[in-house]
Structure 1
Amino acid sequence: MGSSSACLDRMARGRAVWRPHQGGTRMMPEALADLILTLGEPGFGPALMRFLGRECGADLCSVFVIEGDSARVLVAESADPEASAFARIASLRYAQRYWRRDTSAVTALGRAHRAMQVLKRPAQGIRDIDYRHECYTEGAVLERLSLYRAGAPGIIANAYRARDTGPFPPAALRAFAARAPVLHAALLRHARLVPVAAPADPLAGLSPREAQVARLTAAGEDQPRIAQALGLAPHSVITYRRRAYAKLGVADRHQLRRLLETGAG
């Protein structure tokens, strides 16, 4: 593990070139370069999604930092923009409600020897009905590949396949396992570069008007009442709402409400 971290440092400074182990599958240089160049930056999540998409055909990904009994979301991404809201909502739910109920994670992170583990788990194998429904069924997620590494902090990294895509083939599991050491080194470095912050306002990226319209929409107000309350023309309400939905990656009022409820948790 130390050698992977040291190599990552040298690559980040432009002083080393990644060479795969003899007999191993060659790593995608563009995808790895994206990860190195975006360490500590907002673009790291999308770069990780591209990396996992190319390496093992993942449709979504998530990363969690485990410190004591708490988990925080480090990455929540989807290759499909229409599924980005689900990726964020499901990841927040997992961190806030379900990670301690995930027997695979608790077992792997509780091992004293802190060995890295890579596991494949189908959604149908999750016995906790609420956890399975809110983090898998709602997003039509079929199965996941997970990397677990105990430590200070612990790391959980997941790659997911959607039902329409089908299960991960054996080659995808082998590729994920082969990349695990350098992937863990990158995730750990990124986690240490990104400061722990208070939960962000889910609407922070919207304009003031878009945020006002979004909050009233989530509260159940209809278009005429929002227009009257804010002194806007009805067509302006539609425009602000459409822009807010696009920026937040939600499709309707119900997804917006879930995003606000989960983000405030």
Structure 2
Amino acid sequence: MIIDRKLSEALPKAAFDVRPLCELTATIGTPTYVKAALDFAKQITGASFISMFCQGDRDHPLLVGTACCLGQRRAEQAAKGYERYSANDKNAALLAGASGLGDFLTIQHAASIKDFTYRRDCYEQPGISARVSLIRRTQTFGLSVSLYSSAEDGAFSPQMHDPATAVLSLLLATTERHVAFSLKGNTWQGQDIQTRLAVSFPDLTKREREVAAMTIKGRTASEIAEILGLAETTIITHRKKAYKRMNVRSLRQLMATI
């Protein structure tokens, strides 16, 4: 089964228990949010994995967070596979705005994926049976939240699609707040900075975002060149282009902007 459609009707209604909902919202902006989101979703849908992506640049989705209740290694394995094969996946195109603005629901079963290497690396090796995703594309950002059933449990049943969609709608809203709140202040990690840049400046290329993030962390052009294996002049060019896209002229202005 492979389904993707734009949601024009109202989302399925769901009444969530107050206590688990409060526990989830209390983690927004903290390192425990992604695991809390999975715990919340699992109670209702039985999902074993979760992932959250934003539109990191014009061609490449950026991982906000992922978790698996069967072992974090499996979640990270799936995320790395998706990074390699995102061009084969409809979610990446929806994040980039290929089908316009709005909310989109996609459902994908591993058995229905024709591309062997994509199916193997993103589903079979990490032990994923099926995925249900909600993607939101606005004029300023793209954000997706996906729930996955494990190979041990099998694909989500059709009766679970509406509850999963209702959960995803809630998680999409809380994830949007998480991205905004968690990246404030001066305690950013490298991935956090890139996520913040991706959300605030979606026109940056992947390389421009990497260079800008390292610049924010205090790296010089020569240090960035050594890390990325590029010429220092190339790094300076990427930095200039990034500054131009962000409409800033200096690191001080960049820090004030984000």
What's the TM-score, normalizing by structure 2?
Answer: 0.61
Q: Deviations over 1:45-88 (max 9, x none)?
A: 110111110121101111111133232211211112xx310201
1:118 aligned to 2:128?
no
1:42 match: secondary structure: coil
Instruction: Tell me if the contact between 1:28 and 1:55 (Cα under 8 Å) persists in the aligned partners.
Output: no
Alpha-carbon distance in structure 1 between the residues aligned to 2:191 and 2:173: 25
Instruction: Tell me if the contact between 2:134 and 2:169 (Cα under 8 Å) persists in the aligned partners.
Output: no
Q: Deviations over 1:198-246 (max 9, x none)?
A: 259xxxxxxxxxxxxxxxxxxxxxxxxxxxxxxxxxxxxxxxxxxxxxx
Q: Which amino acid in the other structure matches residue 63 of structure 2?
A: V
Instruction: Tell me if the contact between 1:109 and 1:148 (Cα under 8 Å) persists in the aligned partners.
Output: no
Question: Partner residue of 2:137?
Answer: 150
Alpha-carbon distance in structure 1 between the residues aligned to 2:166 and 2:110: 23
Give the alignment of 1:185-224 within 5 angstroms. 185-195=173-183, 197-199=189-191
Q: 1:188 to 1:107 in 2, by over 3 A?
A: closer
1:75 aligned to 2:62?
no
What's the TM-score, normalizing by structure 1?
Answer: 0.60
Instruction: Tell me if the contact between 1:35 and 1:47 (Cα under 8 Å) persists in the aligned partners.
Output: yes
Instruction: Tell me if the contact between 2:107 and 2:132 (Cα under 8 Å) persists in the aligned partners.
Output: yes
Q: Deviations over 1:148-178 (max 9, x none)?
A: 1113321121111112212212232101222
When Rg is computed on C-alpha atoms for both structures, the one with the higher figure is 1
**Identity rate, percent:** 23
* 5+ long unaligned stretches in structure 2: 1-9, 193-227, 229-258
Alpha-carbon distance in structure 1 between the residues aligned to 2:159 and 2:111: 21
Question: Partner residue of 2:50?
Answer: 61
Instruction: Tell me if the contact between 2:95 and 2:142 (Cα under 8 Å) persists in the aligned partners.
Output: no
Q: 1:199 to 1:186 in 2, by over 3 A?
A: closer
Question: Partner residue of 1:168?
Answer: 156
What is the number of residues matched between the two proteins? 177
Alpha-carbon distance in structure 2 between the residues aligned to 1:109 and 1:175: 26
1:103 aligned to 2:90?
yes
* 5+ long unaligned stretches in structure 1: 1-20, 201-263
Q: 1:47 to 1:72 in 2, by over 3 A?
A: same
RMSD (CA atoms): 2.5
